[in-house]
C-alpha cells in the first residue's frame, strides 16, 4: 500500500509537477534494483530507498520512499525529474 502525506502531496504537485499515478507507473515500470540513500541528511529508520524509472508516457522520475516491513506500507518521500548525475549513478549501481 502507498502512503503520501498531505505535505508531500502538495510538494509533488506544486514544486515537482508529479502525480501519484505517475509514481505508481514508475514502480510498475522499474527495471533496476532499489538503492539506499545513505547520505547523512537523508538517513531514516527504516532506510530511504530510491530508484529511477519512466512513467507510461516516458517521463523519467527519481522516486524516494521508505518501506516499513511491519506495516507493508510504502511511504513516498518525494519524486522529481532527476539530474543526469543521478541517472548515471543509478545506471551504474542498480544493474
From the number of C-beta atoms within 10 Å of its C-beta (0-12, 13-18, 19+), residue 58 rates as exposed
As given in the structure block, the three cell numbers for residue 67 are: 518501506
pLDDT recorded at residue 45: 81
**Per-residue pLDDT tens over the stretch 13-35:** 999 999 999 999 999 999 999 99
Q: Are strands 73-80 and 48-54 parallel, antiparallel or unpaired?
A: unpaired
Q: Where are the domains of the chain?
A: 2-93
The span from the CA of 16 to the CA of 10, in Å, is 9
How would residue 41 be classed by pLDDT, with cut points 50, 70 and 90?
A: confident
* 44: confidence class by pLDDT, cuts 50, 70, 90: confident
Determine the Cα–Cα distance for residues 12 and 32; give it in Å rounded to an integer. 23
User: What is the average per-residue pLDDT within 85-93?
Assistant: 98
The confidence band for 40, taking pLDDT boundaries of 50, 70 and 90, is confident
Q: Which segments of the chain are extended strands (E)?
A: 2-3, 35-36, 48-54, 60-68, 73-80
Say what the pLDDT of residue 2 is: 93
Give tens-digit pLDDT for 49-75. Answer: 999 999 999 999 999 999 999 999 999
Residues contacting 41, CB < 8 A, separation 6+: none
CA atoms within 13 A on the CB side of 58: 0
Amino acid at each position: 500500500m502507498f502512503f503520501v502525506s498531505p505535505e508531500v502531496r502538495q510538494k509533488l504537485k506544486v514544486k515537482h509537477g508529479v502525480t501519484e499515478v505517475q509514481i505508481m507507473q514508475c514502480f510498475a515500470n522499474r527495471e533496476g534494483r532499489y538503492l539506499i540513500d545513505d547520505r547523512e541528511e537523508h538517513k531514516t529508520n527504516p532506510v530511504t530507498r530510491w530508484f529511477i524509472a519512466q512513467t507510461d508516457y516516458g517521463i523519467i522520475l527519481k522516486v524516494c520512499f521508505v518501506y516499513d516491513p511491519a506495516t507493508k506500507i510504502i511511504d513516498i518521500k518525494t519524486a522529481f525529474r532527476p539530474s543526469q548525475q543521478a541517472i548515471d549513478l543509478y545506471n551504474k549501481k542498480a544493474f
